[in-house]
Amino acid sequence: MENKFILKNGSGSLCCKGCGKQDNKLNTYDWLADIPGNAELEDMVEIQFKNTRKGYYKNSNRLKLEKGDTVAVEASPGHDIGVVTLTGRLVPLQMRKANIKPDAEIRRIYRKAKPVDLEKYREAKSREHDTMIRSRQIALQLGLQMKIGDVEYQGDGNKAIFYYIADERVDFRQLIKVLAEVFRVRIEMKQIGARQEAGRIGGIGPCGRELCCATWMTNFVSVSTSAARYQDISLNPQKLAGQCAKLKCCLNYEVDAYVECQKRLPSKEITLETADSTYYYFKADILRGAITYSTDKNFLANEVTISPKRAFEIINMNKQGEKPVKLAADNDAEDPKSKDLLEQESVTRFDKNKSGKNKKKKKNPEKQRNANAQEMQNNTKPNGGNATETKNSAPHSKKQKNKVERQKNKNNEQQGEAGVNKQLPAGPVKQNTKKLPAVTAQTKEGAKAENTNHPASANNNGGKPNRNNNRRPKNKGNADEGGNAPQQPQM
């Protein structure tokens, strides 16, 4: 059970040998790794070197090799150091995919790498960056129109491969002589394209994932702008180009699906005639199957979105000389879609129905309180200039509170004008221009008592007590115990 993970449902096993190290690019998952004796059936082994360079070697010594082993392989001259990435029956399939002919020369594997081999390998790799910078300066001094993108030393340090990019044919014979004299190694020049350079360097694409050319793509298919036209993508060079300054390889991934869906849509050149106007093709959602028409060719005006089925019906009607009343069918009802981009990320998106019920429950008590306040206000009865209110008539809303406050101020002003012996509030008092109530006998007596300038005479009206002054108001908010009216709030 070594190197195996048993699935919990008991339906099989998952072999960890199939996955290679993630630091190696273009790894292939070996889905036959858990088959007993798979590695011994084939003596061909796939070896990967720096970046995307791979080679296929023969295990003539019958070494027990697994994925991730570092081995020393045959090279010219000397030997090279690489990592095993695939063994078993899948290797011949990979060789066929790489277009390696059966009669091609196959080199062999010497041994598993020893500590001495690994030490030489690290020493050679440490010189690659300085060699690349120096070689670029030499190429610039020679006036060559080329760019040296990468340098790879052989495992034993006796050979160096220079990868360069050039738009035209370059005569680099003089460059090879100078490089051999400077670095004292055997020089090999390899021309690569911009896509291969991006795959060797690596990086993160605009999709947020590692570049396809650096992870799984082995062959590069030409990409044209027609792929963008089929998918209705704006022809913006900055958005269509990748990090290699060429068109993105992913433009070819979904072209076939878009071409198949476009066969179900009418032509862009066909116009639709209705009883009131002529509609021109404006845009289409190819995968959803919706076409938008406009009454103007140049800009969107009176847009109508219909289905391809409805469009073909109108085209057939126009061929027969008939014109529908309107472009959209009567039974076509557009599904309302939310334009909130963050709606799917909301934590409370599933609580809409519950929140609606809570709102209804909260709404009924509010209506009841407002109705009670309005009823209490309408049932107020004037008694000696004071409004008699119950305790339940206290306002609950700001608007209702202001309304009741104004009513109290109005009653206090009427009480002062009627001659009640009370101290006037500080500050100017707004005069009431409305019609005063009829003067009664009690008010006349109160006015006579006021002219005497004796506060105590208000309660001695010729030996008869004044009922209005002796009666204590029910609502403490209208007057205090001394009969003083509350001060008018400052506006």
**Using one digit for the tens of pLDDT, what is the confidence trace for 282-338?**
988 888 889 999 998 888 888 899 999 999 999 999 999 999 888 887 666 555 555
pLDDT for the residue numbered 332: 60
CA-derived radius of gyration, the chain:
47
Q: Which percentage of the chain shows pLDDT scores above 90? A: 30
- Token digits for 346? 């909301």
Q: pLDDT class for 353, splitting at 50, 70, 90?
A: low
pLDDT for the residue numbered 422: 43
b/e per residue 270-297 (b: at least 16 CB within 10 A): eebbbeebebbbbebebeeeebebbbee
Looking at residue 17, the DSSP 8-state letter turns out to be G
Higher pLDDT pick, 50 / 270: 270
Residue 45 phi/psi, 5-degree rounding, is -130, 140
**Using one digit for the tens of pLDDT, what is the confidence trace for 67-89?**
889 999 999 888 999 999 889 88
Q: pLDDT class for 53, splitting at 50, 70, 90?
A: confident
pLDDT at 391 over 50: no
pLDDT for the residue numbered 82: 93
Q: pLDDT class for 408, splitting at 50, 70, 90?
A: confident
Higher pLDDT pick, 218 / 215: 215
Which H/E stretch holds residue 130? helix 128-141
pLDDT for the residue numbered 19: 62
Quick one: average pLDDT of 343-371?
62
8 A C-beta contact, residue 198 and residue 244: yes
For 112, 122, 313, 414, the CA distances from 329, given in Å and listed in that order, are: 74, 73, 10, 70
**Using one digit for the tens of pLDDT, what is the confidence trace for 119-174?**
999 999 999 999 999 999 999 999 999 999 889 999 988 999 999 999 888 888 99
pLDDT at 362 over 60: no
Strands 54-58 and 107-112: parallel
Q: What is the average pLDDT value for the chain, to the nearest integer?
A: 76
pLDDT at 429 over 70: no
Q: Which residue bears the tokens 């009431």?
A: 432
Locate all alpha helices (DSSP H) within 245-397, ordered by sequence: 255-262, 308-319, 352-378
8 A C-beta contact, residue 13 and residue 7: yes
Higher pLDDT pick, 47 / 200: 47
pLDDT for the residue numbered 330: 67
